[in-house]
Structure 1
Amino acid sequence: MFLSLPQYEFQMPAGLNVPGGKHWRVVEMTLHAPWYLLTVEQADTGNLDWATSRTLCIAWETDLADAIKSIEASRIRGLVAMIPAWASPTGQWSSRQINEVWLDSSEAGKFVTLLDAAGKKLEAGILIEPPKAGPSGELLLRLNGGSRALRPRSAGSGRTRRRSSHAK
């Protein structure tokens, strides 16, 4: 989904780069489908009073769910869905703040449900049929105003709730 080319690589100073990391000034969108910006607080280990954030650009909803499961919920600062022109009311790329992420799993696979600040289900993805088996889903993330997770949890844990209550 994201394409980077060697001429756009940015050489970071050795002390600022992460091992194996590469930085890019430009990336191209090769597939016009929704993608996600997940902002996470990253504490400065040398100064406990100061923290920075990092933002992950994630192309697939299942990768988004996996990323959320691997991060302590209280460190997540925000989640934005980037909506392509073909699925946006403006006819241009647009964005929506996401406040809840649910994961449903069955033998058919995984299905991610995203709810915005108004509790409305995001309907901008490539249409796939959600798994039929299982009446409940796992709440992976709930943000308060899109800025802070309300519930602490360890990676991989979650609550369940009836599917009908989050399929708005």
Structure 2
Amino acid sequence: MSRIGKKPVPVPQGVTANVDGQTVTAKGPKGELRFVVNDEVLVKMEDGAVAVDPRDQSKLARSKWGMSRTQISNIFSGVKDGFEKRLEITGVGYRAAMQGKNLQLALGFSHDVVYQTPEGITIATPKPTEIVVTGIDKQKVGQVAAEIREYRGPEPYKGKGVRYAGEKIVRKEGKKK
């Protein structure tokens, strides 16, 4: 039994929500998002909140129940406040800079890595060793941050590379004489 799925999702102040069949649409100050709920789950508006219930007690319906509730909650907070992921770059000569809409990364390769910013995502570099990824879609923001980190993930010996802000790197001991 889903504990998170039982709670209806309240519609925040300044956000208009609409449920049309299996589609939940949210419009707020940051933009508009929509989420199509799986057919195993029923969704309806009740008292200024969106309620989610499983269609039956099958394992599939119960597994989609809590996930659907969380996705709806994420689109509400996305159109109201947006989401942000911060990345830190560690290493001598490693840096990031914006060139127009593209992110240019110097990560110790023989060439600079150029990452094209997808639509709906904003990338900023307040410092040469810091990258801030923002947007209204939580999944897209996380995916972009993961793709940037993938170019040169943090290595365990010196900790050089691109890491999430606050991420702990398990360090290994170097070889001994």
Q: Where on the TM-score scale, by shorter chain, does this alignment land: which range?
A: under 0.3
State the TM-score, normalized to the length of structure 1.
0.22
Q: Which structure has the larger Rg? A: 2
User: What is the TM-score when the length of structure 2 is the normalising length?
Assistant: 0.22
